[in-house]
Amino acid sequence: MPSTVVAGSFCYRRVTVGKLSYMNVVVCVKQIPDPADPGALDPTTKTLKRDGKLILDESDSYGVEMALQLVGDSGEVTLVSMAPNGEVSGLRTALAMGAAKAVLVSDDALKGSDSLTTAKVLAKAIGRAGDYDLVLAATESSDGYTGTVPEQIAEVLGLPSVTFAKSITVDGSSIKVDRQTEAGYDEVTCPLPAVVSVTAGVVEPRYPSFKGIMAAKSKPVDQVGIADLGLDAGAVGWAGAGQEIVEVVAAEAREAGEVIEDDGEAYNRIVTFLSDLKVI
């Protein structure tokens, strides 16, 4: 029986079949400013400020969980991340969940990178992570939400891919993915190695245990710059970006209307509102 990760299930059982008795999964994890803090733009670069402490993007916690469930105790999860200032706090969270090691790309020259450059850098970092069967990412990040990076990584690596995965089942040297669609979901088969993007909320990310947190402190983080990846500073960051922000303007604000306290009769106001609009 193939190992299955089903949305909402908490079984960590893994029964391997076919060639893949041991599985290596790479998970792309973005480290982002705490979404609870109000975002701000850097006035000169007009991009999101990312200079404070960064945390693991919640969107990626689902990929980490899914990877851990897929490998069980016969495989390894490796993280890759691109972040400024050698930031590792988000990586430590995912290592504490159970990932074995991480590759972190951190370089001043990367500031201003667009999603295409990000994908090229991450693809190189994945190459450094060792042999892998599967690369996971989130369908979209919380702070950038371009939703294009996973597919770009797949194209750079020349791999097949499935986006919007709700569940992944390993079956020999291929996977079966339930891919979310407008109307429901599609069952998709895909040969390995492959890149899969995981939809938010489809598994319950585990909380790091105390033991996990302690162990994470000594897990290896391979920190590299772009030169280590064989990339040229002129091809990344602001220099390599194929797009530029020309203007940021305040949007037309929607005016707040009337706000009333419910005195037990407020429902009547809704009825009147709807009937004035001839909706009822």
Partner 1 sequence: MTVSKIWVFAEGSGGVVSSITCEMLAKARELAGTVECVWAGGDADAVAATLGAHGASKVLSVGDLGGSLAGVPVASAIAAAVAAGNGPDAIMLGTTYDGRDVAGRLSVKLDAPVITNVVDIVERDGGLAGVEPIFGGTQNVFTKFTGDKVGIFLVRPKSFAAEETGGGAAAVEALAGGDAGSSAGATIVTRHVEEKSGPQLDEAAVVVSGGRGLGEVANFQLIEDLAKALGAAPGASRAIVDAGWVPYSYQVGQTGKVVKPTVYIAAGISGATQHLVGMKGSKHIIAINKDPEAPIFSVADLGIVGDVHKVLPKLLEALQNR
Ligand X SMILES: Cc1cc2nc3c(=O)[nH]c(=O)nc-3n(C[C@H](O)[C@H](O)[C@H](O)COP(=O)(O)OP(=O)(O)OC[C@H]3O[C@@H](n4cnc5c(N)ncnc54)[C@H](O)[C@@H]3O)c2cc1C
Ligand Y SMILES: Nc1ncnc2c1ncn2[C@@H]1O[C@H](COP(=O)(O)O)[C@@H](O)[C@H]1O
Tell me which residues touch ligand Y (CB under 6 A): 28-30, 57, 59-60, 81-82, 115, 118, 122, 137-138, 140-141, 144-150
Residue 257, binding choice from partner 1, ligand Y, ligand X, none, Cβ under 5 to 8 Å by partner class: partner 1
| Residue 137 touches which of partner 1, ligand Y, ligand X, none (Cβ within 5-8 Å per kind) | ligand Y
Q: What count of residues does the chain have?
A: 280
Residue with tokens 């060639």: 19
Residue pair 160/130 in contact (Cβ under 8 Å)? The answer is: no
Site mask, ligand X, residues 204-243, x = CB under 6 A?
----------------------------------------
H-only helix segments in 98-138: 115-128
Strand partners, 34: none
Residue showing tokens 């402190």: 217
Q: Binding to partner 1 by residue 268, rule CB under 8 A?
A: yes
Site for ligand X contains 142 (CB under 6 A): yes
Give the position of tokens 């009333």: 260
Q: Which amino acid is at 224?
A: V
**The entry of ligand Y, partner 1, ligand X, none that residue 65 binds, CB within 5 to 8 Å by partner kind:** none
Regarding 145 and contact with ligand X (CB under 6 A), the answer is: yes
Q: How far is CA 37 from the centre of its chain?
A: 19
Least Å from the CB of residue 80 to ligand Y: 6
- Name which of 207 and 210 has its Cβ closer to partner 1: 207
Which residue has the closest beta carbon to ligand X? 142
Q: Could you tell me where the beta strands, DSSP code E, fall in 59-151?
A: 75-82, 101-105, 134-138
Among residues 87, 157, 81, 158, the alpha carbon closest in space to that of 125 is found at 81
Residue 141 CB, shortest distance to ligand Y, in Å, is: 4
- Footprint of ligand X on residues 243-262 (CB under 6 A)? none
C-alpha distances (whole Å) from 36 to each of 32, 57, 102, 147 are: 11, 12, 26, 21
* Residues 211-250 close enough to bind partner 1 by CB under 8 A: 241-250
